[in-house]
Amino acid sequence: MNLDAELKRWEEQVLGPVIKRFPERKPQFTTPAGIPLPAVKTPAEGDYLEKLGFPGEYPFTRGIQPTMYRGRFWTMRQYAGYASAEESNKRYRFLLEQGQTGLSVAFDLPTQIGYDADEAIAAGEVGKVGVSISSLEDMETLFRDIPLDKVSTSMTINAPASVLLAMYIAAAKRNGVEANKLRGTIQNDILKEYVARGTYIFPPKPSMRLITDIFQFCQTDVPHWNTISISGYHIREAGSTAVQEVAFTLANAIAYAEAALAAGLKVDDFASQLSFFFNAHNNFLEEVAKFRAARRLWAEIMKERFKAQDPKSMMLRFHTQTAGSTLTAQQPENNVVRVAIQALAAVAGGTQSLHTNSMDEALWLPTEKSVRVALRTQQIIAYESGIADTIDPLAGSYLVEYLTDEIERQAKAYITRIDEMGGALASIEKGYMQSEIQDAAYRYQRAVESKDQMVVGVNNFQVEESLELEKLSVDPSIEMNQRQRLAALRARRDNQKVSELLTRLESAAHGSDNLMPLMVECVENYITLGEICGLLRKVWGEYQSPAWV
């Protein structure tokens, strides 16, 4: 059979007459990333099996595990944290009781940028968008009565990731759990902070040193820990396309791998502890293809560019969160449907863990009821939809394979351009990634305003409504209580020991020794997050975003 001839015959004899009778809705159909969508796509000849492979084998297009969800479901990891450590601990235990299988910690803004709750710059922000953690005492409270040797914990923390990991290790140790028993992830992805999110502290060179120190330390001391979660999520939230999300995330991952090699690590010693974090948007088929393309492209990068030998080094393991930027304050109940579609795409694409957003997050912190609905969405997909009963369920779909190929091809072109600029960090310093994302965000907003891109309940199908949802608010006394606790902590700790340790830390920061063992010792003696980051600010300075941004 001549496929080209058959396609031409179908277009002329079948498709053509229908289009004449019923004109298509748009002059051109494309995905949100701008990839043209043919009416039908025939399979490629020759390289079908080579591109797909088998599940659990290179190039991992079809998944990183041979059985995928037939073996076990993805980790259902709801992102949570607000107010005080006590309040967040209650929420974590509630989620575990409801069937959640892993924890995911949201920190407040002062914690994310390395300030204690009692510092002037933190005023008004303590406990607002996450939990306030200033000391080991807070971390111990956060995980009270939670078995850290049995629960996997993800922490969305970047610039001060080394300090929060040290606190987690110390808190577990106080509860009789050794570091080599811990499982979880720290985000620890500073490059995307420079690109898209902004919660950076230190300049690139010392920031990369902290990251490679963590790689080295965890290799021996915390072997089951994912040392970094290289994040495309925030790149997508900033307005990128699906192609840009894959390309810029993998370009950043290349930079981290190169930094680890420059620090003397071997690729197969650290690569299996790298993990990724992606977004899931509304265009179902493009999102499924995005995950498959990212897996295949990363496998090729690790094998061909970095000469990895261990298949585990070539596996792209990733967490997914549904898209916060797609949630609407208007008709918030519609967000349940959006989240369900996005979660289904993540599962069909082969995610290892998943967070589903709550319907009211465009308005305020999610209530227990809305969080339960979000978690139930995952459980319905797992237990009722049938999507997890087979591996890579959409493989062989002509359109999915076409989109997978196109996303891979276009992402490769971006990575080549970034390589020509000198790599991810150089492209960030030149503003390349930022400007590409800004242009994509602008195009999307123009499409929404012109109604070329419909957003149900926002630019079409509006209704008059009065919101009657339950609202969760943060007690304003949280900040005052945190300040009082910190004052009491500083009064009763061994401040001579604190002074000695801070002197040692300052000396070590000027040197080249791995800082992680000393970080653990510092937090065990109740040196606070702000004190550690403040000292490192003094030694290393702070990153200043380029003036063009």
Q: Residues 270-321: pLDDT tens digits?
A: 999 999 999 999 999 999 999 999 999 999 999 999 999 999 999 999 999 9
C-alpha pair distances (Å), 481 with each of 117, 118, 143, 396 = 10, 10, 19, 58
Largest pairwise CA distance in the chain:
87
Q: What is the CATH number of domain 47-450?
A: 3.20.20.240
HSE-CB for 380 with a 13 A CA cutoff:
14
DSSP state of 472: B
Distance between CA atoms of residues 116 and 120, nearest Å:
9
Query: Which residue reads 């393309």 in tokens?
Result: 293
Domain segments of the chain as ranges: 47-450
Distance between CA atoms of residues 252 and 262, nearest Å:
15
Does 247 have pLDDT greater than 60? yes
What pLDDT does residue 24 have?
79
- Cα 224–chain centre separation: 19
- Give the residue ranges of DSSP H helices in 284-422: 284-300, 334-348, 368-384, 398-421
Does 379 have pLDDT greater than 90? yes
Q: Residue 78 belongs to what H/E stretch?
A: strand 75-80
Convert the pLDDT of each residue in 90-103 to its tens digit.
Answer: 999 999 999 988 89
Convert the pLDDT of each residue in 481-514 to its tens digit.
Answer: 999 999 999 999 999 999 999 999 999 999 999 9
Convert the pLDDT of each residue in 119-177 to its tens digit.
Answer: 999 999 999 989 999 999 999 999 999 999 999 999 999 999 999 999 999 999 999 99
Going by pLDDT thresholds of 50, 70 and 90, the confidence category of residue 257 is very high
Distance between CA atoms of residues 158 and 121, nearest Å:
19
Say which range, 37-46, 76-85, 262-271, 285-294, has the weakest mean pLDDT.
Answer: 37-46
Going by pLDDT thresholds of 50, 70 and 90, the confidence category of residue 9 is confident
Distance between CA atoms of residues 127 and 124, nearest Å:
9
Going by pLDDT thresholds of 50, 70 and 90, the confidence category of residue 454 is very high
Name the pTM for this structure: 0.91
Q: In what order do the strands lie in the sheet with 102-106?
A: 225-226, 184-186, 152-156, 102-106, 75-80, 353-355, 318-322, 274-280, 228-231
Residue 127 Ramachandran class (φ > 0 left, ψ -120 to 50 alpha, else beta): left
Percentage of residues in the chain with pLDDT exceeding 90? 81
